[in-house]
Structure 1
């Protein structure tokens, strides 16, 4: 039991630190932007002000003043001692959850201190008690969700726009061989946005045409792409979104790629083999990303973003002739559309500025509940995205509204569930709501980093219902195809947050019977959260609906 939970906690630390690497880069970009050193701007001044107000900051002064206060407040909290309480968590988490966490001794300090505390606990012969290690994991998960995920996504909203619904081309058909195609790949969207800004200028389009291309396109890819498509609308330059991580080899083998720009996470060690065979430039743009044999790199620096974007675009243009002359592209690939760009703010706007219409249809049973589908993608049990699509289809068929995040979001986008026409796959109640509001039954809600954002929305729903405890809400979390270490800390946070959490495949903890019992049964008496492991998608949805109906009965709705 102790060994299994120790290894799980180490995976949690890896996930938390990687999420936070992204957050630190986002904050550096915010600071450099308000100091006039980047091509970016404060795109959402009202969000800057409202987020600062939620954190208890003085919002008098200029946008620059408020942004720097936010930057300094967040940095101070990240470095808060393990024994002190995080101010970010105090300001943002639901009061009911905070009391639970205090009573269990898992109210966190700063994330860096929590990572040190957790890692130190995993040394041989330090903490071998599975229950203690599980509580430390939850403590780390809470710090990660609020200090990393929420701070990160809200700051990216401030810089690059709050996600709002719009159409987006998706699937491999967005790749056309006669264009210079650049794919930003990974999780950090900064250079992707900078390249789109440059590529929309006529001078860069003319440079592409001068080498025989029809033009220059930036194609969104994987989670970097999700961050981009949620916020910016498509045009003939920012053309569309390919898909999720499991599609990477097909994307690279399409014969349509001129530059594959690799930031933190989701690039593969075998990518150089594809780059050599299919004649594209493979360029790491994060100091943590390294490929054997690849020496040309452009490590992102906020103050050099425009210059670096120009360098990357020129590399792609210079590559076009060789790629087009020596690689036979795959033609006729599928392309469809998805509606993307849902967020807490845009959902509220669609409902007329209040949650009441959503709460009303939940109370009267038109919608039975809400599922946050936050998943990776894996070939471990099924074909590409099969499990995720089955779970999503079954949930909407049973009148459960789905909010999709992560690589699972790419699955449902490409799979046709994020368009209004997908209402015909939904149950009669959810279908009626979709028709009335003009929305899909699966709302494209972002990346895996939006786990914190959806928790914040759930907290808002709880407050709107008069403070109903999180575990009593008709809400579930689902990770049908988790894979990354990031996903493990997401699931641990969901348990700490009090959510029924379904995961597949089976986590590597089954050698510890007492640990399994703690996660799947006893945790309910601690935080209200419960872990459900199920490899069959229909049985998984059966169990999620049973939980939702039980909570509806408890609430008398």
Structure 2
């Protein structure tokens, strides 16, 4: 029995830290996401197909996919309507999550010229001035605070402005050819909150029943996220905390230290995590930690996307991606897990109760029963951060050394490839990249985005797809949990160019860069949009003409639905490695995988096998190269 359990634990992930900690968790009586996933089997077939509707209290209704039972809900909604409505509600939730994150960033940014956000500064004034110019705001002869005030006013208006005028960031950053397509199709986004609200209205009982109409509004909402909400979060985070530049750091659970107070920051918003990292440097708190026996002082490590934020700007080590949050606690060496929002499992409180670890929630919109709640006050950010760090330090004395097991595995990486950093590596112009693409040294570019999912082998899809593509001379850029997976498996090092095809290897070695570039957290998928738009304009083509694609090999989040949709609406082929809940409607599948391409230039395809997916993507890139008259 023990051998069978060990075999199962080794099968769930390609990360070498996982199996041993799952065994330890079992010994300690701890349940993890993998255990709970098994307990859910078999999962609901109606839910997997997307044919269950709970949108009113005449239901819940479900459609019999085999044709023997009900074919309409009580209101008369067909499988096509139900599947489309359910998918669009997922998309709306994802867009809301990204854009509410942006709203929090804007609040702090605006607080600087208003004078109340005293613990935050404008760290990249050049970036601020660039944003202002793009928005048509005068910058000459004006100081940074004056410019920031006007930029904040414009960006606040993006959320709820009235009227039919397009979003200002869309007009400022999206290529003209793309905007013309969106106007023609009728999906030009008008206001972030409006597009989310309209999806919720359309999917209410008795409103929109047409799958194509519903999906079109979904694409409009996704564009508001990608080209405004997420982009706003990225742009202003760079202004507040610095535009990332390449730096070296380390990844995986081996970054947790036995000789230190360990604080894991988890979530998505750097407004919190940056201040926790800064507070951990406080001499008084460091002395307190050493006085309590933590000779190594205070060790802050990241998890998930907020881990990416402080990794790429501060070099803070990252402990793992989303499915490792419970395993980090199971090491027995975390004094505190400090969270903000998104991708935080409520179960971490139950796991922490088996050890001495304290889970500290900080956001008014994200409470977890059983956690300690310390509201993060942005007006006194450092004071609140020190209070949180002090709780962790004082908890060190409660650690039980006999229950500590920290994996040895950790890997060096290079992170921080913002668009600006990539341009700097290219010498300040896109010409070298364009020339490498035209010559075929680089065949194409693929953006791979985050999420990990217990439905598939952890990290396997990310690692395998990346390796398969780089050996075909395809440059990879990516974000989120993909980026952390790459860091753990050595693919974010310049030395990884040895795994690339001869053309890509030559380019990487000449520039001293990895073949897979860490671009940031999930909101930083907007960096890919800016880069693709700039490259398309440089070459005089539209984004769909580029030898480029997107992929989400292990996606699970509603945010990924929005990301994939704004990539498709921006003109890209997008691969999904886990099956979305749409197979209950042939019409919805047809719209997403076929008809969308004729409307917006992009489409989805689903392929769970990353090797097969790499072949499809490579064939797509070869087709785009032929159309451009470039050698294959």
TM-score w.r.t. length of structure 1: 0.96
User: Quick one: which of 495, 499, 506 aligns to 1:421?
Assistant: 495
Q: Is the 8 A contact 2:237 2:270 kept in 1?
A: no
Alignment partner of 1:366 is 2:408:
no
**Which residue in the other structure is 1:54 paired with?**
134
Which residue number corresponds to residue 455 of structure 1? Answer: 529
Q: Distance in 2 between matches of 1:38 and 1:425?
A: 47
Are residues 1:275 and 2:352 paired? yes
Deviation of the 1:204 alpha carbon: 2.1
Counterpart-to-counterpart distance in 2, 1:277 and 1:113: 44
For residues 409 and 465 of structure 1, the distance between their equivalents in structure 2, rounded to whole angstroms, comes to 28
CA deviation after TM superposition for structure 1 residue 107, in Å: 0.5
- Aligned mates of 2:435, 2:84 — CA distance in 1: 41
CA shift for structure 1 position 488: 0.3
Q: 2:483 aligns with which of 409, 415, 423?
A: 409
**Which residue pairs with 2:72 in the alignment?**
none
Instruction: Report matched runs for 1:4-403 at 5 Å.
Output: 4-34=83-113, 35=115, 37-60=117-140, 61-81=142-162, 83-214=164-295, 215-233=297-315, 238=316, 240-294=317-371, 296-324=372-400, 328-381=403-456, 383-403=457-477
Q: Structure 1 residue 538: deviation in Å?
A: 1.2
Alpha-carbon deviation of 1:80? 1.4
Contact 2:577/2:610 (<8 A) preserved: no
Q: Looking at CA atoms only, which structure, 1 or 2, has the larger radius of gyration?
A: 2
Pairwise CA distance, 1:138: 0.4
In structure 2, how many angstroms separate the alpha carbons of the residues matched to 1:385 and 1:182? 24
C-alpha distance in 1 between matches for 2:395 and 2:99: 34
Tell me the distance in 1 between the aligned counterparts of 2:197 and 2:138: 31
Partners of 1:271 and 1:544 in 2: CA distance: 37
Q: Which runs of 5+ in 2 are unaligned?
A: 1-79
Deviations 1:381-430 (A, max 9, x none): 3x211111110110001000000211111111111110011111111111
Secondary structure of the structure 2 residue equivalent to 1:167: strand
How far residue 369 of structure 1 moved from its aligned partner, in angstroms, is: 0.3
Equivalent-residue separation in structure 2 for 1:358 and 1:139 (angstroms): 31
Q: How many angstroms does 1:12 deviate by?
A: 0.7
Deviations 1:352-388 (A, max 9, x none): 101111111110001100000012111213x211111
Shift, 1:446, TM fit: 0.9
The more displaced of 372-381 and 191-200 is 191-200
1:268-308 Cα offsets, whole Å, 9 max, x none, are: 111111221111111101112122233x3122221121111
Q: 2: CA distance between counterparts of 1:145 and 1:88?
A: 10
SS of 1:242 mapped into structure 2 = strand
> Structure 1 residue 195: deviation in Å?
2.0
Give the whole-Å Cα distance in 2 for the aligned partners of 1:300 and 1:141. Answer: 29
| Inter-partner Cα distance in structure 2 for 1:176 and 1:532 | 42
Q: Does 1:521 align with 2:594?
A: yes
Q: Is contact 2:519–2:527 with CA below 8 Å preserved after alignment?
A: no
Instruction: Name the TM-score, length of structure 2 as normaliser.
Output: 0.85
- Structure 1 residues without counterparts, runs of 5 or longer: none
- In structure 1, the residue corresponding to 2:288 is in which secondary structure? helix
* TM superposition shift of 1:450: 1.2
How many Å separate the matches in 2 of 1:361 and 1:87?
A: 33
SS in 1 for 2:359: strand
Aligned counterpart, 2:580: 507
Say if 2:325 and 2:348, in contact at 8 Å, map to a contact too.
no
Segments of 4+ moved more than 3 angstroms = none
Q: Measure, in 2, the Cα distance between the counterparts of 1:54 and 1:311.
A: 40
For the 8 Å contact 2:322–2:452, the answer to whether it is kept is yes
Q: Residues 49 and 66 of structure 1 are in contact (CA less than 8 Å); yes or no, is this contact kept in structure 2?
A: yes
